[in-house]
Amino acid sequence: MRLPTKLIAALTIASPLASPLTSSIAYGQTSVSLYGRLDAGIEYLDHINNGAGGTSGRWSAEGGDWGTSMLGLKGNEDLGGGLKAIFNLETGLQIMNGTTSGGRLWSRRAFAGLKSDQWGTLQAGRNLFIDSDGVWEFDPFVQQAFSSASLVRGRNWQQTSNNIEYHSPTLWGFDVQGQYAFGNQPGAFNSGANGEYGRSDGIMLTYHSTLFDVRGIYDELRDSNGRLSNIFQSSREYFLGANVHFDDVKIQGAYTHYAAPDSPVGVADSADHYWLGATYNFLPRWAVTAGGYYIKVGDGGGDAAHDPAGHATMYVLGTTYNLSKRTFLYGTVGYVRNSGNANFSLEASPRDATSNTSPLAGESQTGAYFGMLHQF
């Protein structure tokens, strides 16, 4: 929803903090948009560890299975000469209980910056971590509840604070994005505040064409102590993904390697993640997607926070039907099969959570979700 320029100017002039200069610049040159997404549905999972040595099934009302519900504000001011000042404020929502993600006012994005047609975009603040911003486009299930995030326990959909980011303009089909997140701790450059990530960074190179897209990412996500101590929480990531377009069909595949050299002695410190999937648009309103995902955790033991050596395979089938340009219905079913030591869930469930959705080690899990998503 776009706010009228005259309304923005009137609000600015009415503010007790506004100056004549501020009011003059805002009038006629600033664009501010309110946007959002609301996702609600019903979910079923079987074989959830009940904490008493057995498993149970669960029906639940869920928000955000297909995509995170969110509310945001974004805007820009034309500074002339192809240069704009920009900002973005965005928070995740759980519409089933009316809360925001993580209790933050702006949980997903809160940044300001400058955007140049010639030189690219430079911005600073909180944002999606670089792999979260880059992986979804190469995931056939676009990081839904059953998707590329599932078998890596959410490693590729995090957010980080204190970011400095640069996005290059596109030249001959190529563009580059770099991100650097400071830990902001005195005397401990790599560390972060309690409950936050430490110093983290990454770089992403993408090539887009009408026939195919290719993307490579290297990143480091550190724990609050500044260490790479868990393959699915704080680690190095090497990602390579590709999309191929054929009229009504899109094929997507990727490979990711995770390494956590600071893991405790004896536990697994590496993993390899693969996937392949395709989407077929039967009609302009109706699409069907199928995908397979595989994770292999390297040699080593495990504990309450670290996965042991093992592997899992997940199969997902889903469909969407557009009711309009802004609203669609969806349905997704999935099945994950674990090796003897593995307990991966269809959802991106942390290993150390006391109320996660993981099955017992070696058990499979079946699930489904159905709902509606509306964008504004």
Report whether 181 contacts 163 (CB < 8 A).
Answer: yes
The four Cα atoms 272, 249, 323, 66 give a dihedral, to 10 degrees, of: 0
pTM: 0.91
pLDDT greater than 70 at residue 22 = no
Kindly indicate the confidence band of residue 29, based on its pLDDT and cuts at 50, 70 and 90. Answer: confident
Q: Is residue 199 part of a domain?
A: yes
Give the residues across from 71 on adjacent strands.
Answer: 36, 91
Spatial neighbors of 16 by CB under 8 A, at least 6 apart, are: none
Q: Is residue 2 part of a domain?
A: no
Q: Residue 334: name the closest of 349, 324, 325, 345 by CA.
A: 345
Kindly indicate the confidence band of residue 2, based on its pLDDT and cuts at 50, 70 and 90. Answer: very low
Report whether 45 contacts 59 (CB < 8 A).
Answer: no
Q: Residue 153: name the closest of 363, 364, 357 by CA.
A: 357
Instruction: Supply the DSSP string of 275-303, one letter for each residue.
Output: EEEEEEESSSSEEEEEEEEEEEE-SSB--
Q: Is 40 exposed, middle or buried (0-12, 13-18, 19+ CB in 10 A)?
A: middle
Q: Is residue 153 part of a domain?
A: yes
d(CA 2, CA 24): 20
Number of domains in the chain: 1
Identity (one letter) of the amino acid at 256? T
Q: Is residue 177 part of a domain?
A: yes
pLDDT greater than 90 at residue 160 = yes
Q: Tell me, what CATH number does 96's domain have?
A: 2.40.160.10
What range defines the domain where residue 328 resides?
37-375
Q: Is residue 61 part of a domain?
A: yes
Report whether 268 contacts 299 (CB < 8 A).
Answer: yes
Q: Is residue 31 part of a domain?
A: no
d(CA 162, CA 182): 5
d(CA 234, CA 347): 19
DSSP helix/strand/coil, 185: coil
Kindly indicate the confidence band of residue 254, based on its pLDDT and cuts at 50, 70 and 90. Answer: very high
Q: Residue 336: name the closest of 354, 363, 357 by CA.
A: 363
Report whether 230 contacts 220 (CB < 8 A).
Answer: no
Q: Residue 267: name the closest of 215, 230, 225, 311 by CA.
A: 230
pLDDT digits (tens, 9 = 90+) for 285-321: 999 999 999 999 999 999 999 999 999 999 999 999 9
pLDDT greater than 50 at residue 105 = yes
d(CA 54, CA 344): 16
Q: Is residue 93 part of a domain?
A: yes
Q: Is residue 141 part of a domain?
A: yes
